[in-house]
Amino acid sequence: MRIMNEFLQGMSTMACFIIGLMFLRFWKKSRDRLFCFFTASFWLLGLNWLCLALIRTDESETSLYYLRLAAFLVLILGIADKNRAKRSGGEAVKG
């Protein structure tokens, strides 16, 4: 059972880093900062999965929740930044 958990954590790590690379490619094409935030967020989640696999502890380890918290805060900041940019851009067109 432990080997299967490590395998799945490794697959989740790889998936998060690949998704981060895809968002990085989207950022290079569009220069939209939201993609940078998504890249950082998925890489933090990938780091979380990597730490879970290497430390060999269960998910109740409190210190690993900080990585997830940071990842979700980066997502929230990215979405707020995108909405703020839309709002300020819309006001500039009206004024």
Question: What mean pLDDT is predicted for residues 8-19?
Answer: 95
Amino acid occupying residue 25: R
Query: In the prediction, which pLDDT does 95 show?
Result: 38
Q: What is the mean pLDDT of the chain?
A: 87
Query: Quick check: 12 pLDDT over 50?
Result: yes
Query: Quick check: 75 pLDDT over 90?
Result: yes
Q: Report d(CA 31, CA 12) in Å as an integer.
A: 27
In sequence order, the 6+-apart residues with CB closer than 8 A to the CB of 40 are: 20, 71, 74
Query: Quick check: 83 pLDDT over 50?
Result: yes
Reported pTM: 0.83
Domain ranges of the chain: 2-94
Query: Quick check: 20 pLDDT over 80?
Result: yes
| CB atoms inside a 10 Å sphere around CB 68 | 15
Interval 49-64: pLDDT, tens? 998 888 876 666 678 8
